[in-house]
Amino acid sequence: MTIAEEEGISLQLCGHTHGGQFPPASWIASRVYGRYVHGLHRFGKLLVFTNWGAGTWGPPLRVGTNPEIVLLTFEEF
């Protein structure tokens, strides 16, 4: 994110994290990605967006995180 912000990029769309999918992976994801594990956040002048994703990895199980599909609308300003 540091390089993107330094290069003047205004929005970074990040791949999904599954919200960690189930404990203890959810705890690990939050420690690795911090506040950037989910949602829209600002990193200097850079906006960073990460979603939970809609599926699973490995076992078809999600505990404590809901699947999500996000529709983003971009407008000129």
Contact yes or no for 18/65 (Cβ under 8 A): yes
Most confident option among 3-7, 26-30, 33-37, 61-65 = 3-7
pLDDT tens, residue by residue, 40-77: 999 999 999 998 888 777 778 788 777 888 999 988 87
pLDDT confidence tier of residue 8, bands split at 50, 70 and 90: very high
Domain locations in the chain as residue ranges:
1-77
Strand order in the sheet with 46-50: 11-14, 46-50, 39-43
Which residues, other chains included, contact 51 with Cβ-Cβ below 8 Å and sequence gap of 6+? 16, 38, 68, 69, 70
* CA 76 and chain centroid, separation: 24
DSSP assignment letter at 60 = S
Strand 46-50 to strand 11-14: parallel, antiparallel, or no bridges (unpaired)? parallel
